[in-house]
Amino acid sequence: MRRRSTLTNLPFTKPGAAPDKLLQARAMRGAPTPGEALLWAELQGRRLDGWKFRRQAVISGYIVDFFCPALRLAVEVDGLIHERQRTEDCDRDDDLAARGLFVLRVRDADVRARMHDVLDTIRTHCAAARGPLPPPRGGRDGDGGR
């Protein structure tokens, strides 16, 4: 009988993702920052206009706080540490943008103090990423085919 590696046999593994990043993302999901926990409460379960978000998603070797696959939108909650690592964050955002993703950064302090504004900002980016709505389906004159 052939024995499989523990890391490659985990139920949350994604094809091509480094096992150490997957383990790190799983640990981060278990210990979110206060801002991440508050924002996740608003995003989980398609609560934001029906959009599906994942948290601590591994994408191209990076772990993003929240990711909407349908829109290729990553949302990052920036705390104090991001004040000191702006160059690294810019490089990472550029790399993700080159792969077709848009990274939206929101401040942790804004998440905690002005959640409504943060959600409006995310909604605006979701609408922009979605593009114009398709014409109504069905018959003529907007009768919906009835």
DSSP string for 36-74: HHHHHHHHGGGTTTT---EEEEEETTEEEEEEETTTTEE
**% residues pLDDT > 70 (the chain):** 66
Q: Which two tokens stand for residue 60?
A: 């191209």
Statement: residue 97 has pLDDT above 70: yes
Q: How confident is the model at residue 45 (pLDDT cuts 50, 70, 90)?
A: very high
Place of tokens 């702006």: 86
17-130 sits in which CATH class?
alpha beta
Give helix then strand counts, H and E, for the chain: 6, 4
Between CA 114 and CA 9 the distance in angstroms is 41
